Each structure stands twice: as C-alpha cells, then as structure tokens.
Amino acid sequence: MAFMTPDSVTTAPPLLADTAIDDVDLAALAARLGTPLHAYSSSAIRQRIGGLQAALRGLDATIFFAVKANPNLAILQLMSNAGVGADIVSVGELRRSLHAGMPPERIVFSGVGKSADEIAGALTVGIHRFNVESHDELLTLQRLAKVQGVTARAAVRINPDVDAHTHAKISTGKSENKFGVSIDEARRWFAERKQLSHVQLDGLHVHIGSQILTLEPFRLALQRVAAFWQELEQAGHPISSIDVGGGLGVCYRAGEDHPVAAADYVGVIREALAGYRGRLLLEPGRYLVAEAGVLLTRVIRVKPGIERQFLVLDAAMNDLQRPSLYDAWHDIVPVADEPRPLTTYDIVGPVCETGDTFARKRVMPECVAGDLLLIKATGAYGASMASTYNSRPLAAEVLLNQGRYAVVRRRQHFEEMIAGEPPARHWETT
Ligand SMILES: *Cc1c(COP(=O)(O)O)cnc(C)c1O
C-alpha cells in the first residue's frame, strides 16, 4: 500500500542504516555539516535516469523532470547534463531551470493557474510546449502569442477520469479533480483549432496522480488517450506529441511498497500507444529522486510520555511535510553498525503541533540523545516543500557523488530568514 497511516504498526524487522551513501560516510558528513541535512546521491539519480532512458530505447521519447519534486539547482543541472528536460508549473521553476542551464526547448509548462505574466514569460524564452488545462488558458495563450508574433505549441491536458489509487491529495486524474479537461471538451477545442492563429494545438497530455504503484491506472488512462488520438487523427487533427505525465511510485516502506519497474511501465506505454509515430514526453518527478535522498537528523532527547515514548528529533514537519500532510510513511533508521534491542516510539519533531509527527508506534532500535538517524526516501517533495515554520531556518542540502560531497544549499542564516521584513515604519496610503 502506498500510504499507510503512521498509526499502523510495522512488523517488518527494522533495519540499521547503511553508514555510507554514495561512498560518503554519513556520521562524518553530519558532524561536518550539522543536522537536519538533506543528502542526495547523484549516482542513484543517474542510475534512475539511465534505467528509464534504456527502457525507452527505440522510441522518440524525452524525459522532462517534474521540477517541483526537487528544484535544487544542482539537481536540475544534473538532469540537464543527463539529457533530461524540465516540466515546470510556475515562472519560478522556469527561471530555476534556465539558471541551471536547461535549454528552453527542453521545458514544458503544466498547471491550472498559469497567469498571463507567466505565459508571456514562457513565450518570450521560447519553451518547448504548454500543457493547457482550460479553455480560458487556451484563449489567453492565443492572445499573448499573437502579441509577441510567435506560435505557441500546445497540448490539451486530458482528465481521463481514472482512479490512480493513491492518496486523495495527490490524485489528479478523476473528473472531480481540478486538473485537465474532459475528452468532450478537448474535442471541441480541436474542432475550433483552425481559429487559433498563434497556437499549434497538436498534443495530448495526461497526468493522473502521484505515487502510483500499479500499472493498471496508467494503462487505463493511456488507453483513453490512445482512443482519442486515433479519433483526432481520423478527424484530420494530426497529433505530433503525447505527454504521458509522471506518477511512477517509489518504495517508502521496505517490504511493503513494490514499485513497478521502468521497463514494465514503458511496456504499457508501448502497448497502449502502438502505432503512434509522434514524439513521446514523460514527466517523472518522484521516481527520479525520491529514493536517492535521505534526511539526516539527530535525536534531541528521548521523552517518556504518559502513554508512549517519544523520540524527539532535530528535524521537523517544516523540513519534511509528507508525514503530516499525507500521513506518509518513511522508513527511519539509526546510522549504526551494531544491532540494538527494539522498542516502540512515536517519532516527532520540535514544532509546536501534534501534526509534527514522523511516525506513530514505530518499532525500531533503541536510541539515545545524540544518535544520528536517517529518514529515508526524502529526495522528492522533501526540501522542495520545506518552510520556515516555527522560525526554523531551511536545512542545508548536499549532493553526494562517489566519495565526495558538495553543499548545494547552505543552511539558511537567521538574517536571511528575516530579510524582507522591515519594521512597520513607513506608513503609506493607497
Ligand atoms: C507533479 C507532476 C508530475 C510529477 O509527478 P511525480 O508523481 O512526482 O512523478 C508530472 N506532471 C505534472 C503535470 C505534475 O503536476
């Protein structure tokens, strides 16, 4: 199951953490850089990219990394160097991608709320394609492209009304979700395609949700897209680009989560879109980076409670929101080479909310204050969703590579955190 509630008790034997990742010693790293610390293995990320690219061999397919999963510039640079593009959802992500050296022709823009300014900015730099999510957006794109005297390439984001069997907050392909348009509506867009003088509407896009652990939802969605593509071709609307979205799940809970293999996933794409000769786009986010990342944290203290024992960490919900936001499970293990007796903890952070809980009733090796722990599989939607709640500065991020490390975000200073907050001295009227 993808999302066990933190209340469920694990029966799998808790593992000790590896003492090194990407040949970098974790205890030494934490001693040098402090905790909490997000660490990413570049070897692991490259391996994921390589595996997916190998599975795609023979297809005219390009991977566009969903930047929101991990927008760190060094990660984007790594993606760019590996031939991977960017799937962006804001002008901030556009600027990050360009800053990291991503060529504009390897950037696609998704999202229901692209503002006119954002669309104009993306047109100016000449991005590869817009994944359009509403008729109003389509007309805005036409108007702004006309102003700039350019032609925008566009795909319709189809809402295929498919249940991705994932957490409700990250399901995006059901008719009740805000994303995409129905096939009926998309059909009307193509019928009036010729009136769009500055939009080349020749693509289909679908993204049904995140952390999907079975092939069935992908197959269903792609079958619907394939049927629509064939219908459009027959009606004289050539489709040169099909974007199959992201959503591939990862293993958050060893022994419980069984992600689909890249080759099987691509097999479903090949089968559903057999006969299609245009370009394929893939937008994985989590799959490329989640398991490559860990959050290093230290035990501040062990607090005996009235009913339970609490393990209080120096990491909190502001560093990793997934458990409090989605009831998400993360394996948590001490960095130690000696086995220890097992006990049961509620694992919490210092933030003043009961929601600041990483795990409830978690069976794991006994810990003492000062112990170094790993929260695993935090490379996606970890640092990218971090905040300074409780005035906790943003944690540092470090990229590991075959025995060496590079700090790719230094720990935020207090002064940086309060920058932009002048005292209310200059009172003005509107
Ligand atoms: C978030 C998102 C993705 C990536 O989702 P993952 O589950 O991280 O692979 C891809 N496409 C779109 C449009 C998205 O919003």
Q: What is the pLDDT of residues 155-171, one digit of tens each?
A: 999 999 999 888 888 88
Question: What's the pLDDT score for residue 2?
Answer: 42
What pTM was computed for the model?
0.95
In the chain, pLDDT over 70 holds for what percent of residues? 96
Ligand 1, residue 172: give the atom nearest the CA: 15
Provide the pLDDT confidence category of residue 17 given band limits of 50, 70 and 90: low
Cα separation of 53 and 70, whole Å?
Answer: 20
State the distance from the centre of ligand 1 to the C-alpha of 110, rounded, in angstroms: 9
Q: What is the pLDDT of residues 223-232, one digit of tens each?
A: 999 999 999 9
Q: Answer yes or no: is the C-beta of 285 below 6 A from any ligand 1 atom.
A: yes
Quick check: 8 pLDDT over 60? no
Domains and CATH numbers, the chain: 6-39+291-415 (2.40.37.10), 42-289 (3.20.20.10)
Which residue's alpha carbon is at the smallest distance from atom 10 of ligand 1?
246
pLDDT digits (tens, 9 = 90+) for 366-404: 999 999 999 999 999 999 999 999 999 999 999 999 999
Token reading at 370: 């000062």
Of all protein residues, the one whose alpha carbon is nearest to atom 1 of ligand 1 is 66
Task: Tell me how far apart the alpha carbons of residues 283 and 88 are, in angstroms, rounded to a whole number.
Answer: 10
Neighbour tally for 426: CB within 10 Å: 6
**What is the average pLDDT across 29-46?**
98
Query: Is the separation of the CB atoms in 365 and 11 below 8 Å?
Result: no
pLDDT confidence band for 10 (50 / 70 / 90): very low
Using the atom order of ligand 1, give the atom closest to the CA of residue 380: 8
Q: With beta carbons less than 8 A apart as the criterion, state whether 152 and 175 touch.
A: no
Best mutation site among 67, 110, 169, 171 for ligand 1 pocket (most ligand atoms within 8 Å of CB): 110
Alpha-carbon distance 46 to 82, whole Å?
8
Whether the predicted pLDDT of 5 surpasses 70:
no
Low-confidence winner among 66-80, 168-182, 207-221, 314-328 (lowest mean pLDDT):
168-182
What average pLDDT does range 344-366 have in this prediction? 96
Residue in the block written with tokens 């619907």 = 224
Ligand 1 pocket member 331 (CB < 6 A): no
Residues with active-site annotation: 352
* Spacing, Cα 169 to ligand 1 middle (Å): 13
Contacting residues for 306 by C-beta, under 8 A, at least 6 apart: none
- Considering only CA atoms, give the Rg of the chain: 23
Please indicate whether residue 205, judged by its CB atom, sits closer than 6 Å to ligand 1. Answer: no
The answer on pLDDT for 180 being more than 50 is yes
pLDDT of residue 16: 65
